[in-house]
Structure 1
């Protein structure tokens, strides 16, 4: 099985004038959602130079001395923003710690925003490296562009379910987004079968939009259980559906496991920039119209975005997130 490629040309703007092309794209999203929940997009409207500058930002940040990165550590942030050292995360509980380092940032919500005041996870200020001040403006510009694209994908997702393309528009008031820059060092020569750059996992949010460099290393578990390489395609982004989508679609669309091994770079680091789009913390998740058979109960009870994330934290870590 392979990961499909979806061309968004002619489907990037909502409205009747583009309905026919959007309907074609929506049908392709339906097919991908019912399979592994992964697909490439091309002609997505993002400026190639903007993406290239974001990779420059990632390289500049990770090249900083360890003391400078420690100064902006995640440990200093209530909003889960900042640098994360190699080995700090283990995405697969049955594997060894992930062989990667990361930097997290997102929308700059002000201190008086209600969600910041309530201490909701990932709402608040970013931490930026003082030694590379341009990284902040670049990353915020990239975040804005990715937010707009993610929200258009949510409209196309609605069309794929036979709903008006505006069905999810109300959930985007204060989205909970994370831009993550990742550097994977070369896979250790003495690594065993339990060592990964990123262990097998699913994403918890709605949609992930991934820009990856030319080396590759991302693998996706297909519906038959086999693992397929998400080989880099020039000019594309890799899209995967997160765990909120099966809740919205009553299990019709899937959020499949994926993992990373940096074995193809010839010793060079691999860079990847996933953008995790999650709607407003208080947005409601419930099975969309037409997804639950008559007389049946939905697979998941209705909940808010925040309640879904709290459930995932309890299942994964045995703790509760604010």
Structure 2
């Protein structure tokens, strides 16, 4: 595997609108987005103590008794929140089932929120184990910190596209947010080339903010087809662009494949905590100004953020079963 490193963006003096290094960081964002769509961030403003506490909670959640986890399986949740069992997901259709298990939660929108009432995907109730009564508040605090960072990164992306800094703010009315805590067992000795903790895939949404433990294992495919390791760097998060961003930028910015193999842990489990940020369900996803030349046809059909995620869901899972289980809800009348 080539010895290469992802770009590193230092957000010091760039964490608030109009801050002195915003233009410099936006240029670095543009270069990374036009390459692999992956980069590290440091100086990101999320306290290390908060991240460390979330890893401790992840280990507590994912080592609860099997009966507890089964009772709170995502199979019982219309919002796909709760526990996902080892091998339940196959991100790469040409590979074996993924060697990972997870716990999912999201923002705690109230029952009377229009999107919750409409049954929109990702809006709904979390499932929490009674054995960890502190889990809801701790996850909410972590999500709010990451949401603040994600919104700032969207502002830097706007600057990177020569747009007003607040261009994407209007898309953030009621964002779709998923927090996932993941446990990877050690990579099996003698495993074949089709065995992964997480098979090669791209993320579906806008931004993924990843906290990874010190073991490593994340691998990123460059535009040249090389796989490079996203080696953990102290004090950093890994950020990658999801498939929504190429639609927003008419293919100018990239969403590249990545995968996980827990091969460097010395037989220990690997934990990672991806935070998936997507805009408001009804936010329009159309090419931003300056990305479609005069007379050029856009590369993607316009859609909403929710429609994009549904398209990706139907592409990945059995379409007939998905339609039956998740019928399209009527859009409520609401101003995000």
**TM-score, structure 2 normalization:** 0.93
Corresponding residue of 2:5:
2
CA distance in 2, matches of 1:158, 1:318: 35
Q: CA deviation at 1:314?
A: 2.3
Corresponding residue of 2:299:
299
CA distance in 2, matches of 1:83, 1:317: 19
Q: CA deviation at 1:237?
A: 0.1
Q: CA deviation at 1:141?
A: 0.3
Moved more, 28-37 or 182-191: 182-191
Q: CA deviation at 1:311?
A: 1.4
Length, aligned pairs only: 319
**What is the 5 A alignment of 1:248-287?**
248-287=248-287
CA distance in 1, matches of 2:161, 2:316: 30
SS in 1 for 2:124: coil
1:190 aligns to 2:193 (yes or no): no
SS in 2 for 1:311: helix
Corresponding residue of 1:221:
221
Q: CA deviation at 1:318?
A: 3.8
Corresponding residue of 1:27:
27
Corresponding residue of 1:90:
90
Q: CA deviation at 1:190?
A: 3.4
SS in 2 for 1:168: helix
SS in 1 for 2:167: coil
Deviations 1:252-301 (CA, angstroms, capped at 9, x unpaired): 10000000000000100000000000000000000000000111011012
Listed as ranges, the gaps of 5+ residues in structure 2 are 329-336
Please list every run of at least 4 consecutive aligned residues from structure 1 whose deviation after the TM superposition is greater than 3 angstroms.
none
CA distance in 2, matches of 1:183, 1:241: 22
Deviations 1:115-143 (CA, angstroms, capped at 9, x unpaired): 11111111011111110111111111000
Listed as ranges, the gaps of 5+ residues in structure 1 are none
Q: CA RMSD in A?
A: 0.9
Q: CA deviation at 1:231?
A: 0.1
